[in-house]
Copies of this chain bind each other. A is one copy, B any other.
Amino acid sequence: MKISPLQMERLKYQPKLPGMLRNGIAEISVKEGEPTQSVADQDKISALFPNTYGKKEITFEKGTNTAPAKKQVVGVILSGGQAPGGHNVVCGLYDALKATNKENVLYGFKGGPSGLTDDKYIVFDDEYIDQFRNTGGFDIIGSGRTKLETEEQFAQAAEVCKKHGINAIVMIGGDDSNTNAAVLAEYFAAHNTGVQVVGCPKTIDGDLKNEDIECSFGFDTATKTYSELIGNIERDANSAKKYWHFIKVMGRSASHVALECALETQPNICLIGEEVAAKKMSLSQIADQIADSVAARAANGDNFGVAIIPEGIVEFVPEFSVLIAEINELLAGEKADKFNALETWTEKYEFIKNGLTAESFAVFDILPEGIQKQLFLERDPHGNVQVSLIESEQLFAELVKDKLEERRKAGTYNGSFKTQHHFFGYEGRCAFPSNFDADYCYSLGYNACMLIQYGYNGYLSKISNLSKPAEEWVAGGMPITKMMNMERRNGKDKPVIRKALVELDGKPFTYFASHRDAWAVETAYTYPGAIQYYGPSDVCDLTTRTLALEKGE
* Interface positions of A (Cβ within 8 A of B): 1-10, 81-82, 111, 135-139, 142-143, 225, 228-229, 231-233, 235-236, 238-241, 245, 264, 266, 343-344, 420, 422-423, 426-432, 526-536, 538-540, 542
Count identical subunits in the complex.
2
Q: Are B5 and A235 touching (Cβ within 8 A)?
A: no
Residues of B within 8 A of A539 (CB): 5-6, 9, 534
In contact, A431 and B529 (Cβ under 8 angstroms): yes
Residue of B nearest to A545 (CB): B1
Instruction: Determine if A428 and B232 form an interchain contact, defined as CB atoms under 8 angstroms apart.
Output: yes
Contacts known (A426-B420, A427-B229); A9 close to B535, Cβ less than 8 A: yes
* Bound form: Cα–Cα A449–B528 in Å: 32
Cα-based distance from A138 to B332 in the complex (angstroms): 54
With A7-B527, A232-B427, A529-B7 known as contacts, the answer to whether A142 contacts B239 (CB < 8 A) is yes
Contacts of A233 in B (CB 8 A): 426-427, 430
CB-nearest residue of chain B to A243 = B426
Q: How far is the CA of A40 from the CA of B169 in the complex (A)?
A: 71
Taking A6-B530, A139-B238, A431-B530 as known contacts, 16 extra A-B pairs with beta carbons closer than 8 A to each other, sorted by chain A number, are A4-B526, A5-B538, A6-B528, A82-B240, A135-B235, A137-B235, A137-B236, A138-B239, A143-B239, A229-B427, A232-B427, A232-B430, A343-B344, A422-B423, A432-B530, A532-B535
Q: Of A2, A136, A422, A430, which is in contact with the most chain B CB atoms at under 10 Å from its CB?
A: A430
Q: Are A542 and B430 in contact (CB under 8 A)?
A: no
Report B-chain residues with C-beta under 8 Å of the C-beta of A82. 235-236, 239-240
A235 with B139: CB separation less than 8 A: yes
Chain B residues with CB below 8 A from A138, complex form: 239-240
In the bound complex, what is the Cα–Cα distance between A246 and B232 (angstroms)? Answer: 22
Question: Which B residues are in CB contact (< 8 Å) with A542?
Answer: 5
Cβ-defined contact, A536 with B534, below 8 A: yes
Query: In the complex, are the beta carbons of A235 and B430 less than 8 A apart?
Result: yes
CB contacts (< 8 Å) of A534 on chain B: these are: 532, 534-536, 539-540
Verify B538–A9 contact, CB threshold 8 A.
yes
Contact of A526 with B427 in the complex, beta carbons under 8 Å? no
- A431 — which chain B residues lie within 8 A by C-beta? 228, 232, 529-530
Best-surrounded residue of A264, A530, A531 (most CB of chain B within 10 A): A530
Q: Which B residues are in CB contact (< 8 Å) with A526? A: 1-4, 7
Q: Is the CB of A231 within 8 A of B529?
A: no
7 A-B pairs with least C-beta separation:
A534-B535, A530-B530, A235-B430, A137-B235, A6-B529, A138-B239, A236-B430
- For the complex, give the distance between the alpha carbons of A463 and B2 in Å: 32
Given the known inter-chain contacts A529-B432, A530-B531, please indicate yes or no for A139 contacting B426, CB distance below 8 A. Answer: no
A218 to B240, CA, bound (A): 16
Residue of B nearest to A78 (CB): B239
